[in-house]
Chain A
Amino acid sequence: MTARSQRILFWALVWFCILILSVPTIIVVGASFTTANMISFPPEGFTLKWYEKIALARDLQQAFIRSLIVSTVCLIVSVPVGTLAGLALSRFKLRFANAIQIYLLLPFTVPLIGSGIGMMLIFGEWRVLGSLWPVGVALAVINLPFIIWSVSSSAGALDGDLELAASSCGAGRFETFWFVTVPGVMPGIITGGLLMFVLAMSEFLVSLLLTDARTVTLPVQIYNNIRSIITPDLAAVSSVFVVIALLAVWLLDRLVGLEIFLKSK
């Protein structure tokens, strides 16, 4: 009896949390279907015209493509760097492991506006501010701890004897790394990589500082489009974002779920 009422309480709490967390998403997605010219919830009527509008809006389209490019650059930079750093952190007894852990926390303790301005100064000095790739590199730098943690926790769970086993099989250092270590931490790499991609897609503050009219990314473009009122087309763009994030989660589940299936435990 107690177990039953406890279960009911437990599930009530779970659903309450889910509801609270998803309220903004539900409102923005709902509002994107409204027929009114102003954002409203619950939506008045049902229309897809705002989606048609954003699909035809060249500025949004181009910003979206730029965001994809930025996220891809971020991914290309952060995956190898984050993987190696994550492995180093968990595999070797580094002398300054503690100091490195604290350093990795820095991006969260220094306000983004601070690191954004810092990077603006550096990239300005190097005269690369007008192009897209520095934005991707900057986002890789500020979000790097996520992939490092993801990889190092995956590496921590890896049986250390696997690498010794590989070497007794005749694998040299590089072969051991490539055929045994990397596949072993693949779940961490995939999780970290997707996280980096999604974070780069939606990052706003640093992107705002590092982009100009020629290089605006989607979140910055959305911000620029907000005038005195928020029109439903912005809700439609946001809904597209939500769908991308859901896709990423689905992909993660498929890939990492698959990886866990491949692992013996």
Chain B
Amino acid sequence: MTNQIAAQNSATQSPREVAVRASHVTMDFGGVLAVNDASFELEKGRFLTILGPSGSGKTTLLRMIAGFQKQTAGEITINGKPVDAAPPHRRSIGMVFQKLALFPHMTAAENVAFPLKMRRFNPRQIAGRVDQFLDLVKLGGYGNRRINELSGGQQQRVAIARALVFEPDLLLLDEPLAALDVKLREEMQLEFRRIQHELGVTTINVTHDQREALVVSDNIIVMDGGRIQQQAEPVELYRAPENPFVAGFLGLSSFVEGTATADGNMQVGDLVVQGEPADDFAAGTKVLAAIRAEQIRLAGTREALGNCDMKLEGRVSDTIFEGERQMYVVEVGALSGATFRVYHHDPDSFGLFHVGDTVALGWNRRDLKIFSPAA
């Protein structure tokens, strides 16, 4: 049965249609621009994550898509129709809330059956469908439990089943995993991905967890201060951030300030640092470079670094043990004392370097991104 649904969905998906389109959407809470001129498109059947720090406007954007709040400017359409064309209960949107909002006076099965009853499904088919979706979220046999008799992860699954059981056009997830412990969260992330692939439902997920965004999504929107900073596929977003905010928000980056050179590199003092400019900068403009902690190589001497486009000496100013790896903070005098945070995987010799040691740093040109600092 589930496979049938999946087959149907992939059939309708073949020419990618746009499921959700936001154009110049703004939400003005009396002077506070919670969402500021946001535009994006989401194709049918894809999994989009809206990623951003607390207060960046993620929930507000999601609630406008759900139609619970009306934007003050701009338009949102779902399958070509404006969201506010119909009241919330007449739309085909399933939603999993941050605090789940399961009905406490009903059993798990009654919770899952509720949308089917409200949407006037054939009463004879309801029980079978409820069982089918409880199985889908691996809760077969738990239908008669009350909500308070289920664990956090199980409640999560009930909420997902309730949001999906009527096969909505769109599934919205508002940080539903935020309250779970790390292990369970990672398990549920994979679960989301499996279910989404199985049903092929268009999904928008909100989170401030960059790892979750990278793991589950086909497409990621990074938000900050109500503005969309970048929309891209996970690998591209990670490899080619378009501005310092995205570079700093995903992964662990170190920043160096300098001025642009005519050939697209960066000058700090007398030293020219090779990097990849995000834009065409006029020579002499102020720029900000970023490089990820795992893209910097670390060794005792320049020779031991092997092939690198850029090699520098620095002094270890701090070492932090993180379990599977060690992080070193290295101060580079030649770059007017800029500090770099470097991950070092070396299973045999944890603590290879110590505070005060002189070390060699190296990286490749394409890994150092040069941005305009204003962005």
Contacts and interface: CB of A to CB of B under 8 A. Distances in A.
Contacts of B183: none
A162 B104 CA distance: 9
Interface of A: 159, 161-162, 164-172, 175-176, 179-180, 183-184, 186, 262-265
Given A168-B66, A172-B118, A184-B105, 14 more contacts: A164-B101, A166-B118, A169-B114, A169-B115, A169-B166, A170-B166, A171-B89, A171-B118, A172-B87, A175-B118, A186-B105, A262-B146, A265-B104, A265-B148
B101 A161 contact: yes
A259 to B, nearest CB: 8
A247 to B, nearest CB: 25
B337 interface: no
A167 B88 contact: yes
B89 A264 contact: no
Interface stretch (B91-99, B246-254, B352-360): B91-99
Nearest to A164: B68
Contacts of A186: 105
Contacts of B98: 161
Contacts of B94: 168
Contacts of B91: 168
The binding surface of chain B is classed by DSSP as mixed
A184 B90 CA distance: 23
Contacts of A184: 104-105
Contacts of B311: none
A264 B162 contact: no
B93 A168 contact: yes
A262 B66 contact: no
B118 A170 contact: yes
A162 B101 contact: yes
Nearest to A165: B101
Nearest to A163: B101
Given A159-B99, A164-B88, A170-B119, A264 B104 contact: yes
B103 interface: yes
A62 B189 CA distance: 68
Contact of A264 (B66, B102, B115, B119): B102
Contacts of A165: 95, 97, 101-103
B89 A172 contact: yes
B147 interface: yes
Contact of A170 (B97, B99, B103, B115): B115
A186 B104 CA distance: 12
Contact of A161 (B97, B146, B147, B148): B97
A161 B99 contact: yes
A179 B103 CA distance: 9
Contacts of B66: 164, 168
6 contacts: A159-B101, A169-B114, A175-B118, A183-B103, A263-B148, A265-B104
A168 B101 CA distance: 11
Contacts of B147: 264
Contacts of A171: 89, 114, 118
